[in-house]
Structure 1
Amino acid sequence: MGNSVEWCTVVWQVAGENFGTKSDLATWGVALLSGFMGMGGIVVGQLTSTRTEKKSVRAAVLAEVEALHDLCMKRKYLEGFREDARHFRSPEGIIQQQRGEIYQNSIRASDFNLIYRANLSRLGGLSGTEAKLIVRFHQLLQGVLQDVSEGGILFEGSNDPKDYEEAADILEEAMDIAKVLMAQKKPWWRFPWRCGQNVDTATAGKSH
């Protein structure tokens, strides 16, 4: 706002006290045009800065989703839950159930989604579909981690195959969402310009 006030002062100084002649009008018009161009530059700069920030947030949040997906796959958490469920449905597992034997699963990952939490207030810059998928992914992953963290049913130990199947189903849904986000991830310059909002990755890029 200070820039526009200073610009107005300059205009009136240029116009002078004898404002009204043709030469005064021409001079004032030039000053006015220069002022509008200056203000336009400021507005464009702010819009560019905002869009750059949104692109950076989107890239960081999606990179975290991909990293968490790869970590879960490499450590075979999903396969482990499925295997434990199958085991406790097998004859050997049923005998263990009768003996009261249990399996315990524990994972310490309190800071697993630091980027997501740090940028929660900025998710509005993503498309509605993309933001919902990212939130859903982290909610599902958090649910699984609660089961395998202190106080969780799998942390304390269980021999009920349903407990492992439920954890596996939740984790599998999270991994499926991650795959959608990873598959739709494209460089920002391949998306058409949409002022104030990033492009919906569920629809953008299909025509390319």
Structure 2
Amino acid sequence: MIHRGTVTQYLFRRATPADSAAVHRLRGQFVEELNAPKGALEADSSRSEFMLVEALEGATRQAVGMIGLVHASSEPFIFERLIPDVWQRLDLPTLTGCFDLRREDLVEMDWGYVEKPYRGKQLALLLLAGCLLHAHRRRYPVSVGIANTALMARLPGGIFRSTGLVSQLAGVPYELGALWPGQSAALMADAVQAACAMDSQRAWHLDVS
């Protein structure tokens, strides 16, 4: 996906092993900005897939935002560390309507982060859209995660289903909820197309494979 502005171009793509330093830098900035407990927001990168947004300004190209998908393993998800008693408080089949759903079937929407100078440009929302589209391609039935309630409120169609479980980080409420990649794919594609329609100089390409 590429977003072209008057000066800056924004390139959305999946991260490769060569991007590990950029991913590490952005994750470090996010943790420092939230002043979160050490280790609380960290996921094992070996079981994560990341999507980056890069700013292309003249001859300069730099990753300025990211989001990830964390696959299930024996290690806890981020939300399981932030809400240790989550499985005593949460009935996953009732929440999702998928009564044969197991923890192993889940994918966690990792933290989305955009550097401060690049905020207010819909980059976080579009990173999320690309991530959900990728999860749909991977055929994950349900994505769960701790999310900024303000960002989730801007999602179309009420696709974020809250569990009512909240964790406070740096005074900001982050809510545990679920999303259905298959059900939300068309809405996410529409959101990207709407961003393009708002500005004739924007060109978004939905191929995130």
Report the TM-score, using the length of structure 1 for normalisation. 0.26
More strand, by proportion? 2
The structure with the largest alpha-carbon Rg is 1
Greater RCO (CA < 8 Å, at least 6 residues apart): 1
More helix, by proportion? 1
Report the TM-score, using the length of structure 2 for normalisation. 0.26
